Structures are given as C-alpha cells and as structure tokens.
Structure 1
C-alpha cells in the first residue's frame, strides 16, 4: 500500500452560516490539499462531522470530493461504527471502486473487550472488498485497541493493511512498529507526534492541520521519511503552536477557524460542537496571517 505512505488529509466539511454544506468551499479545500502536495485524501472521517450529517448529505460530500479530485490522488473512505452488522452491510452494498482503502474506527460507546474489538474487525475485513485501515482513537471511543490486538488482526487478515494510531501514546506506537508484520503501516492519527512516529519507523500521518498547511506539513513528513531530521524538526517547531491551537477547543472547530483565516470557508460547525471563542480565533488568525 505505497499510496498510503506520507500525508493523508482528514477532510473537514465546510458549512455555510445556515449550516448547509458549502460545496464551493469544499472544492477549494480539496484543491488546496492536492496542490499542496499531500499524498491522499480521507473522506468522512471524524473531522468531517459526519455524525451530524444525514445519509443524503454524506453521499453528497463523497460525490463532490470524487468529482473535485478528478482521479488525481488516492482516496480513503471512512466506513465504521459501533453496530458491526450495519458496518458489514454498508461494506457489502456500497460501491467502493473509487477508493484505495476504507478507514474503520474501533467501536465507540459499547466499550468492547479486546476480543470484541478483534471480532468486530474480523467481520469488517471479511466483508470489505478493499484494504482496511484500522482507526484507534481511545479519547473518542472509550476503549484502546492494544498493540497485541492490532498485530493479531494484521497477521490474520491480509486486507488489514494499516492503522491510524491516535492514542497519543508514543510508547504504544513504538510497540506497534516493533512488532508489526513487515508491510503493515503505522500511520499517526495525532499531528503533534506524527514526525516522531515517522522517525521511529512509522509510514506517515492522517492529518487535520495538513488541509490548512498542506505544503509545509506534507514536506515535513517526507523529510522525516527520508531521515532529514533537522530540516523536518524546523517545520515541526514552526507549526507546533498551531497544532495545539486547532485542537484546543475541539476538532474540527480549530481547523475551521484556519479555513476562515485563509479565506477558504466559514468557521461554522454543527451542534453539539461550537465554534472557537474570540480569544482562540484571534490567536489562530494571527498565526495564519504570519505564516501564509
């Protein structure tokens, strides 16, 4: 899965002030990411606010991004949930021919055991006609997919090809990298430690900040993959404050303020999320204006 090495962008969904999808802004964001040099696009991840979109809106977002991409970059589609049967049904019925892989989150709210997580992803792998990227994000799901479970899945199912590891735990990421099968990819799901994970042997990142600063962030990851450490860390430290800021009051509220500061889209989110407060808005705006 060479297409998944480097920087993938977890695309947010821009909304107008009336909370409808801003089609033109979405196309601008896709083009900015592509022109900025990222390696692939991730559609309908958590950052997309797909939890607050209905089925028709989600289909519209998929269609719009496919058309905007025009086949230029590989694409990954988020297909996951906490109802295993429902996820399996979607994988069996959805046309996935446009996508290189699916990104599938570990079941949330239910808080399954490690065996339950294994059985869920076993069902996903057996149903999916394309490769599967596991997504571990304990802060959202309430349960951690342990390295032993990931390695078990990677060894048992050839189409489970990668993990988006967003536990924020460098030691856990290193254990994954140490014990994984040779061709299995460990992708950072945390922008702040993406470079350290790459330098430890990871294969890249599925990033939020990269859709605001695609040129700089994707270059940082490429420098890391090529072991140009000093140059990579110059970019890391330039953007570390902004990475903190875009997650300070929740994702995607922060990156949507970056959109507004760049003139790409409104900083509108749907409830239960709210936009960043005035103080954070000013700080992000100041950073963006300084680093445009």
Structure 2
C-alpha cells in the first residue's frame, strides 16, 4: 500500500525478530511480520534494532533477517541496524549488508563501556568512511540502554560526517528530542522512538517516529495517518486515544508485541533475551485489543 506521508509524518516500524519455541530463528514468522508493514501505510521498517533483539542474534542471523525483510517489505524502506560493541563488528555488518544491496543503515552508539565524546565520534567516523558514499547512515542514540551520552552539540559534529543523514533517539521525551533537532541542520532527519509522539512530531520539526507498537497494531497507526491527513480534530483525537491505549498496553515490551502478533497468526511469543512473558491477564487484554483494533 502506498504511503502519502510528507516529511514530518514518516512512520518507520521497529520490527521484532521471531523465534521458535526452542529459540531458533523463525524466518517464516519474521517475514509474516514484515508483510504487515508492506500492507500498511508505514514508510518502511527499522530492522534488527532493540525491538529486534539484535544483541541475541549471531552476525549471520542478523543478515538473514535483513534479507528476509527486504523481500517481505515489498519495496518499502529498510533501515538495517548494524550497531555493535565495536566499530570492527559494525563495519563488518555494514559490508555484508552493502554486498546484499542494502543502502540504509542505523548504528547504535558504543555500549556497555560508555563511549567518550571523542571515542564515539571516531566510532561513527570509521563507519562513515567504510560506507564511502555507498550508504545512508542514521545515528541511533539510546542513553538508557548504552550508557553512552551524546549531547546535541556532539551529534551536530557527527552529523557533518559524509553519509550521515539522520538520527533515531529513544528514551527521551519530545522536548528533549527537539534539542537535537535545533542543534542539527534542517536537512538532517530526526526520528523519535516514542510511539505516542507521532501526531506531534511534524508540528515540532521532527521527521517521524520509529514505532515498535506499529509492528503489531499497524491498523491503529494507519488510522492515525489518515486522521492527520484529514486535518479533522475529532478524528485526530480519536486516533490518538487509540494509539495511547495500545502503547500503554504494550508498554515497550517485546514479549507483549509478540503476544499481539501471535494473536494474528504471525508467530509465537518466544524471546531470546531475559524478558518475562506477560501474565494471563495481560495476554487476554492484548488479545482483546487485537480483536478490537486489528479485526482479528
């Protein structure tokens, strides 16, 4: 389905990686999740990021997920996450992705051991040089998960590197994300990882949202896009209420996302990381919301 989103209303879907009950990579189910995006009005997908449990994937598995979603997305944008603990690993993932024809990548800051401003800059400079005009690079900031802090001024310096075209910022509210927007050039793309901020993004100079919840409730976000395009305040308010309801229900939890997908016949709820499965009560609430908003 074609998207008509102008800049400022872009929706990228953060896709989960699906596993079998024994923890093996389930590429068939992974593809079925990507197909939801292909059928939606989202612009594309953010693949093998935090929602995709990238830390639990072997390098060859991550590339297999990239390849699978390229097909499943049916020509929509794929931003392949190559973030890793070292620049050596990130560049290796970049080269493999480039060889497979991928041209858009996201790279998380160094993590676990916090990167210094100079060390972080050098990390992304090496990624930029490796891309050498062959790819578009997005800088992924998630201080709460990585312990690496990048200030707005430091991001502005990184943004000047060749091929670095944008950023995804997770864990910050809209006011904080706007500080990065003001510090970077107008053509530099700024995405927030806060699902609920989609309707407010455009009016505040933010290019769009990378949403994990949209992977399991795509119809909800399609209705929000339609409401925003209509400009009707009542429709926008109703769509925002629905978005807030499902965002609160999922609560940024990967297992809950997978429970919602399981209710739609798109795989099981297995995770590899140390994530607790939802209670029976929460599972029932998710299944009810899927029936209500996804028509399943």
> TM over 0.5, yes or no?
yes
Q: Cα distance 1:186–1:225, how it changes in 2: closer, same or farther (>3 A)?
A: farther
2:152 aligns with 147
Q: Is the 8 A contact 1:163 1:185 kept in 2?
A: yes
**SS of residue paired to 1:67:** helix
Runs of at least 5 residues in structure 2 that lack an aligned partner in the other structure: 1-5
**SS of residue paired to 1:8:** strand
2:63 aligns with 59
Deviations 1:235-262 (A, max 9, x none): 1211212212212xx5311211111222
Deviations 1:31-80 (A, max 9, x none): 1111112111222112111221223322322222223334x212111111
Distance in 2, Cα, partners of 1:224 & 1:122 = 38
Q: Is the 8 A contact 1:6 1:218 kept in 2?
A: no
Instruction: Choose from 160, 172, 175 the match for 2:164.
Output: 160
Deviations 1:81-116 (A, max 9, x none): 221233234434543553241011111111122232
Cα RMSD for the two superposed structures = 2.5
Task: Indicate whether 1:119 and 2:122 are aligned.
Answer: yes
2:101 aligns with 98
1:257 aligns with 259
Q: Cα distance 1:255–1:153, how it changes in 2: closer, same or farther (>3 A)?
A: same
Q: Is the 8 A contact 1:144 1:167 kept in 2?
A: no
TM-score when scaled to structure 1? 0.88
Distance in 2, Cα, partners of 1:237 & 1:57 = 37
Task: Indicate whether 1:68 and 2:100 are aligned.
Answer: no
Distance in 1, Cα, partners of 2:199 & 2:77 = 22
Q: Cα distance 1:216–1:96, how it changes in 2: closer, same or farther (>3 A)?
A: farther
**SS of residue paired to 1:262:** coil
Q: Cα distance 1:89–1:246, how it changes in 2: closer, same or farther (>3 A)?
A: same
Task: Indicate whether 1:37 and 2:18 are aligned.
Answer: no
Task: Indicate whether 1:18 and 2:22 are aligned.
Answer: yes
Q: Cα distance 1:218–1:49, how it changes in 2: closer, same or farther (>3 A)?
A: same
Distance in 2, Cα, partners of 1:198 & 1:4 = 4
Q: Is the 8 A contact 2:198 2:209 kept in 1?
A: yes
Q: Is the 8 A contact 1:8 1:38 kept in 2?
A: yes
Distance in 2, Cα, partners of 1:107 & 1:113 = 9
1:277 aligns with 279
Distance in 2, Cα, partners of 1:98 & 1:17 = 31
Distance in 2, Cα, partners of 1:226 & 1:118 = 42
Instruction: Choose from 27, 32, 41 the match for 1:28.
Output: 32
TM-score when scaled to structure 2? 0.87
Deviation at 1:126, TM superposition (A): 1.8
Instruction: Choose from 184, 190, 193 the match for 2:188.
Output: 184
1:86 aligns with 89
1:291 aligns with 293
